């Protein structure tokens, strides 16, 4: 039984970002008036969001070349030393990486220790600092979810702070903001939500709540990816909503075979989450036949080319690492294939699947 926490408030509107200063001002108090912004580095030169900053506010640009690391989160927290008692809220403006960074920092401002101390389930004790999420690219569902994924390099562990305290207090969902996203990236990230939903619907953990969010999210995805211009304003609106619903879907169910294989690619070849999922989805015929076929029609319709041959010639050691970092995800694999999934996903089978990518 799951007792779910939703995002506190959300505003879904064209140019909704214009309401952000008012929302922030509402949080400001005489002795607690600093707003801290975490903004994706893509916006650094354009100064697009500079107008949001008031006198004492702090702005940090998040380098999203790599996915968030626990060490990066810790250093953001360190840079707020001396300000803690004066912070009224945090604002994350960007994609999954920036949204997750902001969530993690918010938790660590009210919970002692380091980011790695809270990687796991329900380890965060105190509610974090009030946080506002503003997605600028859609698909991961990070805006809706109760986790923030971070790589712990020393422990070779990619895991989030799964906690109800990680859920955003406020979202601004403004489809205008995703206008500048690179076309390929837009496709890869949006497909994360498609994949969350098809995995969720095909799993044994499915239920009426998760199914309803998944089905609605998939309807929106299909409209977008069967259309002529997946990045028109109306389609960016649909993708933003699909991502939010997909995040809720996964909060009520579980992923399946694609995410564990994608995690393998991430650990061994450092491939990012969303493009990794697409590379895996493209070879999932035996696990998700109809969905794989549909995915290929999206690729063709939108003229998106995926990297090929990325696992064709790896060392035995790399294939072994790929196998281990895939089958370690027992819950999603059991959700998709049953408790005896290791009989299906033998070393030979896993290697064969990776070789097709
Ligand atoms: P991202 O944050 O990794 O950004 C992808 C790229 O898009 C970056 O180069 C960024 O600079 C660029 N970008 C973002 N917005 C832009 C805009 N408006 N215009 C131009 N460029 C823009 O994107 P993502 O794919 O949304 O997120 C992936 C991350 O999300 C991974 O770190 C993954 O682990 C995480 N994730 C989190 C959850 C969760 O529930 N918390 C779920 C899935 C994935
Ligand atoms: Zn995902």
DSSP3 helix / strand / coil % (the chain, rounded to 5): 50, 15, 35
Q: Which of 107, 115, 133, 140 to mutate to test the pocket of ligand 1 (most atoms within 8 A of CB)?
A: 140
In this predicted structure, the answer to whether residue 353 has a pLDDT above a threshold of 80 is yes
Assess whether pLDDT exceeds 90 at residue 3. no
pLDDT for 317 equals 96
**Closest among 350, 19, 37 to 176, alpha carbons compared:** 19
Strands 34-40 and 87-94: parallel
Q: What is the pLDDT of residues 198-237, one digit of tens each?
A: 999 999 999 999 999 999 999 999 999 999 999 999 999 9
Q: Cα separation of 24 and 40, whole Å?
A: 19
Give me the mean pLDDT over the 260-269 stretch. Answer: 94
DSSP states of 226-288: TSS-TTSHHHHHHHHHHHHHHHHHHHTS---SHHHHHHHHHHHH---HHHHHHHHHTT-TTTS
Q: Is 67 in the pocket of ligand 1 (CB under 6 A)?
A: yes
Q: Which value, in Å, is the radius of gyration of the alpha carbons in the chain? A: 20
Mean pLDDT, the chain, integer? 96
Q: Which residue has the tokens 């002795």?
A: 31
pLDDT above 90: residue 82: yes
The per-residue pLDDT for 335 is 97
Gap from CA of 196 to ligand 2 centroid (Å): 6
Ligand 1 pocket, 181 CB below 6 A? yes
Residue 184 CA: distances (Å) to CA of 98, 196, 291: 19, 19, 20
157 C-alpha to center of ligand 1: Å? 19
Q: Is the CB of 97 under 6 A from ligand 1?
A: yes
For residue 40, the cross-strand partners are 62
Atom of ligand 1 nearest to the CA of 135: 15
What does the pLDDT read at residue 107? Answer: 98
Q: What average pLDDT does this structure show over 253-258?
A: 96
What confidence score (pLDDT) does residue 268 get? Answer: 93
Residue nearest to atom 11 of ligand 1 (CA): 42
Question: Strand, helix or coil at 67?
Answer: coil
Pocket test for ligand 1, best of 7, 39, 64 (most atoms within 8 A of CB): 64
Rounded to whole angstroms, the Cα distance separating 160 from 68 reads 10
């Amino acid at each position: 039984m799951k007792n779910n926490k939703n995002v506190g408030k959300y505003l879904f509107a064209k140019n909704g970002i214009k309401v952000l200063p008012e929302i922030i001002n509402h949080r400001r108090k005489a002795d607690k008036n600093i707003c801290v912004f975490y903004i994706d580095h893509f916006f650094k030169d354009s100064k697009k969001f500079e107008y949001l900053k008031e006198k004492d506010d702090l702005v940090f640009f998040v380098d999203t070349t790599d996915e968030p690391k626990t060490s990066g989160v810790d250093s953001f927290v360190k840079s707020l030393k001396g300000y803690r008692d004066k912070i009224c809220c945090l604002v994350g403006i960007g994609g999954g990486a920036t949204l997750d960074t902001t969530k993690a920092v918010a938790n660590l401002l009210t919970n002692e220790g380091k980011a790695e101390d809270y990687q796991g389930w329900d380890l965060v004790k105190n509610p974090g600092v009030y946080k506002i999420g503003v997605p600028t690219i859609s698909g991961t569902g990070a805006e809706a979810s109760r986790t923030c994924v971070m790589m712990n390099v020393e422990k070779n562990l990619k895991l989030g702070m799964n906690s109800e305290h990680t859920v955003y207090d406020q979202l601004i969902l403004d489809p205008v903001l995703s206008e500048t996203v690179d076309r390929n990236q837009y496709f890869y990230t949006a497909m994360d939500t498609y994949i969350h939903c098809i995995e969720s619907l095909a799993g044994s953990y499915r239920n009426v709540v998760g199914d309803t969010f998944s089905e609605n999210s998939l309807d929106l995805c299909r409209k977008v990816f069967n259309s002529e211009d997946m990045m028109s304003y109306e389609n960016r609106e649909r993708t933003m909503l699909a991502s939010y619903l997909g995040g809720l879907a996964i909060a009520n169910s579980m992923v399946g075979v694609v995410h564990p294989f994608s995690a393998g690619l991430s650990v061994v070849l450092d491939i990012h989450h969303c493009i990794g999922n697409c590379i895996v989805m493209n070879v999932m015929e035996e696990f998700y036949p109809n969905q794989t076929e549909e995915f290929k029609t999206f690729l063709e319709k939108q003229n998106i080319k995926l990297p090929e041959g990325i696992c064709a010639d790896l060392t035995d050691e790399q294939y072994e690492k790929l196998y281990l970092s895939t089958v370690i995800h027992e819950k999603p694999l059991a959700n998709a294939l049953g408790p005896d999934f290791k009989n299906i996903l033998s070393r030979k089978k896993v290697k064969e699947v990776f070789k097709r990518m």
